[in-house]
Amino acid sequence: AVVSTQSTGICYGTPGLPLIQLVHEPADLLFSNNLQINTIYYITKAIVPPLQRVFGLMGVNVMEWYNELPRDLRTHFSATATRSKHTISHYYHTKHCPFCDKVSDILCACYLDRQKVGVLSQSQLTLLKSQEQSLFTICSDCSNVPTIVANPDTPHNRNCMSFVCPVLFKRISIRNRISEREGIKDEVFKLYNW
């Protein structure tokens, strides 16, 4: 089956689903924490074949090389984790500390220092919210709408859908990172009974 992906994106989904059921509009991808672009699909179907044609002339098997690459899986926390369904990638455990980003097979030393964890968690959230507010100021100037409070559900935020604007994508990316950090903060608070 040929699926046009000109104004749509292929997302991860339940194994065995027909490709057509994994196609989503760009707006769906932007405003959903549960949808993720299926990078493996695009790498194996759009990037590897042309590379294979070029490097195949030199005897290099690009698909074999790609399959040998290590995979980096990270857990995605979300503030809505307990209220919504997730893709399987939301249940993978990470080897990256969410605070210092160090790789470790055991619990990172950051978790042993309650005060450090609390400060890092809050400072990361504060920084992201400050970045988000700066982006809202840019959007406000562009759209001639008074500066709005950082809230992804306000009508102005949903109506500003210029897919050629890099600020829109940066703003949504920051919003998703804030949701993830709020989920991490909630987990830390549960861990320490704060």
In this structure, which amino acid lies at residue 95?
K
Closest CA to 39 of 29, 53, 54, 27: 29
User: What pLDDT, in 10s, does the model give residues 21-78?
Assistant: 999 988 787 777 778 888 889 999 999 999 999 999 999 999 999 988 887 654 444 3
pLDDT above 50: residue 166: yes
pLDDT above 70: residue 149: no
Helix axes 114-143, 166-192, angle to 10 degrees: 160
Bridge partner residues of 96 (DSSP): 103
pLDDT for 194 equals 66
Least confident span in 50-59, 85-94, 123-132, 160-169: 85-94
Least confident span in 80-89, 145-154, 167-176: 80-89
The span from the CA of 24 to the CA of 39, in Å, is: 14
pLDDT above 50: residue 89: no
Q: b/e for 121-156, b at 16 or more Cβ within 10 A? A: beebbeebeebbeebbeebeeeeeeeebebebeeee
pLDDT above 90: residue 109: no
User: What pLDDT, in 10s, does the model give residues 5-26?
Assistant: 457 888 988 888 898 999 998 8
User: Rounded to the nearest 5 degrees, what angle is found at the Cα of 98, between the Cα atoms of 126 and 115?
Assistant: 65
Structure tokens at 89: 């990638």
